Structure 1
Amino acid sequence: MNAVGQAGEWPEMRVGYGYDAHPFADDRADCEMSAACGCVADPNTDRHASHATTDVSDDDECALGQCEGDIANSATGAERSERTLVLGGVRFAGERPLAGHSDADVVAHAVIDAMLGAAGLGDIGTHFPDSAERWRDADSIEMLQQVAAHLGAHGWRLANADCTVICDRPKIAPYRESMQRRLSDAAGGPVTVCGKRTEGLGNSEGIVAHAVALVLADREQLSKLQRSGGGEQ
């Protein structure tokens, strides 16, 4: 079924749900290094032990330097140090960054998914595949702007969206207003954000975001699309 539907069948509003999660960049690098080089986890720290403990010599095929060069897309070395945690378009200097193909803004990604789902226009992976080089290190706020324009072209506009971020660090409250302003400006409608702690239930490996979005029908645009046959996705 396309996003436009048949005359008289368009709802005044539709609801969508979005979700995104990204691991911390250093955890992703550690896990990929472990898989490639056979290093073992340190049971006292729950982190991977150094390669010195695995008796890997400089001449071995799995020497540290060689493995680092062979692991695609791992946030290691200079790449890891250059990444910055971005949530809702706000940069959190000094906090652990997230691994991802784009800037790994889980908040913006969840809102994008919710908006696309509400309008019946696919999901974030359809429009911004992580296999496409053009989206490497992309600004997720700019992606959100593109999605808002895409919805408008297909006869939908955002009424409001709400996003819950689950993490112990950073604290969201001091940055909530800045995040909401950045997201709302990009999405073309009010976006609210709240932060929740894990309460000791895990999720120490990354940050998770859930979002819901309500979109309203632009009946004039939908009618134009139907007449022109432009409703197919």
Structure 2
Amino acid sequence: MPDFPYPIPRTGIGVDVHAFATTADPQPLWLGGLLWEGEQGLAGHSDGDAAAHAAADALFSAAGVGDLGTHFGTDRPEYAGASGVRLLSEAARIVREAGFEIGNIAVQLVCNRPKFGPRRGESEAALSKAAGAPVSVSATTSDGLGFTGRGEGIAAVATAVVVSIR
């Protein structure tokens, strides 16, 4: 990579998808760093927080240091059941250790439920604290199309901006 006289921002994209847990194995719903009481949870190796996972993956992508599976995959039993905010916090630490500072992260949820808007600020605060950088979260539906439209799960897409500090 050529040397530049100034830091060049790098962007990354992260995607995470989780199916809702079955009634035979119910789970609490963790989404955007928050517990959603009374909502059907997501299945996954960790807590299934698609927003936090997509944010972590976007950081890894921007810094070029692997992906969620590389760092927290099913071959890492110490992360079984881990919270999404723990994974995002650890991802931010790894990215900073690799010589980057985090500019911001933006997360887009695709789901029919839970109704996200009333808790947006709370979620942004939780994820921003975990990342040590600004995180914005928005949500949309897929107008009844696909697995999210049928209410089978939740998807999240995130982008992150990092800048090399070395």
TM-score, normalised to structure 2, is 0.92
Q: Secondary structure at the match of 1:192?
A: strand
Q: Distance in 2 between matches of 1:9 and 1:23?
A: 46
Alignment correspondent of 2:155? 208
Alignment correspondent of 1:128? 72
User: Structure 1 residues 9, 129: closer, same or farther in 2, change over 3 A?
Assistant: farther
Q: Distance in 1 between matches of 2:30 and 2:162?
A: 25
Q: Secondary structure at the match of 1:94?
A: strand
Q: Distance in 2 between matches of 1:124 and 1:100?
A: 13
Q: Which has the higher helix share?
A: 1
Alignment correspondent of 2:109? 165
| Runs of at least 4 residues off by over 2 Å | 5-11
Alignment correspondent of 2:87? 143
Q: Secondary structure at the match of 2:102?
A: strand
Q: Could you tell me which amino acid in structure 2 is paired with residue 24 of structure 1? A: F
Q: Could you tell me which amino acid in structure 1 is paired with residue 76 of structure 2? A: A
- 8 Å CA contact 1:157–1:188 kept in 2: the answer is no
Alpha-carbon deviation of 1:7?
4.4
- 8 Å CA contact 1:19–1:211 kept in 2: the answer is yes
Q: Distance in 2 between matches of 1:190 and 1:164?
A: 14
Which string of whole-angstrom CA distances, capped at 9 and with x for unpartnered residues, describes residues 5-59 of structure 1?
Answer: 5644985210000000000111xx7xxxxxxxxxxxxxxxxxxxxxxxxxxxxxx
User: Structure 1 residues 84, 10: closer, same or farther in 2, change over 3 A?
Assistant: farther
Q: Distance in 2 between matches of 1:131 and 1:100?
A: 13
Q: Distance in 1 between matches of 2:62 and 2:33?
A: 22
Q: Is it true that 1:190 corresponds to 2:134 in the alignment?
A: yes
Q: Could you tell me which amino acid in structure 2 is paired with residue 217 of structure 1? A: S
Alignment correspondent of 1:12? 8
- 8 Å CA contact 1:165–1:193 kept in 2: the answer is yes
Q: Distance in 1 between matches of 2:6 and 2:87?
A: 26
Q: Could you tell me which amino acid in structure 1 is paired with residue 155 of structure 2? A: V
The structure 2 residue matched to 1:108, chosen from 46, 52, 61, is 52
Q: Which has the higher strand share?
A: 2
Q: Distance in 2 between matches of 1:124 and 1:116?
A: 7
Q: Distance in 2 between matches of 1:182 and 1:129?
A: 23
Q: Distance in 2 between matches of 1:9 and 1:132?
A: 40
Q: Distance in 2 between matches of 1:156 and 1:98?
A: 31
- 8 Å CA contact 1:17–1:113 kept in 2: the answer is yes
Q: Secondary structure at the match of 2:130?
A: helix
Q: Could you tell me which amino acid in structure 1 is paired with residue 13 of structure 2? A: Y
Alignment correspondent of 2:18? 22
Alignment correspondent of 1:86? 30
Gaps of 5+ in 1: 30-75, 223-233
The structure whose Rg is larger is: 1
Q: Distance in 1 between matches of 2:5 and 2:50?
A: 34
Gaps of 5+ in 2: none
Alpha-carbon deviation of 1:132?
2.2
Q: Is it true that 1:119 corresponds to 2:63 in the alignment?
A: yes
